[in-house]
Chains A and B, each alone.
Chain A
Amino acid sequence: SQKIEQNSEALNIQEGKTATLTCNYTNYSPAYLQWYRQDPGRGPVFLLLIRENEKEKRKERLKVTFDTTLKQSLFHITASQPADSATYLCAPGSGNTGKLIFGQGTTLQVKP
């Protein structure tokens, strides 16, 4: 069955450093991969979408890579700030089915 793995342990980093979060998937070949941010008590908020033919995508301090050979996406936040502290979810999608499955999420804590 399709499986999505994100680091279950929280990631703690110092303000100003780069945070790198990992999303691995098995048993399917998504054409797209999405990243979301979720704050406590709130619904997830969309951040970035990358297509299988795009190796890298950037938005302000965010960068996402998509390696279809390794079946992995990396999500980077450069010059991290305490306000970046949240849980980040990845969601690989094929575009051919009616559903989008999410990873469990990784919690990022940025310390001042």
Chain B
Amino acid sequence: NAGVTQTPKFQVLKTGQSMTLQCAQDMNHNSMYWYRQDPGMGLRLIYYSASEGTTDKGEVPNGYNVSRLNKREFSLRLESAAPSQTSVYFCASSGGKVGATPLHFGNGTRLTVT
């Protein structure tokens, strides 16, 4: 029973490099989310997908793109990484109405941009 799986767990990039963070859930949830967590800033929503085929911006979308590949998978892409994107990235999913149902989180991807 894996829940939400994120890959990779750790990544170091140089400024200007690109990469894609992968997220998959096995709970048949409709909604998926990408958050970043920085010291003193808490969890901030980057993008979310309320259902397969839809994506919307959250609080801090600049510098990121997302793809809802299918119901299970939601990827986050950094086209040209910047040091300000050094953070811990969490993917989450939920099975019902946002706010009214719990989010299930992965264990994060720790990204360092030098």
Contacts and interface: CB of A to CB of B under 8 A. Distances in A.
Contacts, number: 76
Contact of B97 (A36, A95, A104): A95
Contacts of B90: 43-44
Interface residues of B, number: 29
B45 A100 contact: yes
Interface residues of A, number: 30
Max chain B Cβ within 10 angstroms of own Cβ: one of A32, A91, A99, A105: A99
Given A44-B43, A89-B43, A34 B102 contact: yes
Interface in B45-86: 45, 48, 50, 56, 58-59
Given A104-B41, A104-B42, A43 B99 contact: no
Interface of A: 8, 30-32, 34, 36, 41-46, 49, 51, 89, 91-105
Interface of B: 4, 31, 33, 35, 40-43, 45, 48, 50, 56, 58-59, 90, 92, 94, 97-108
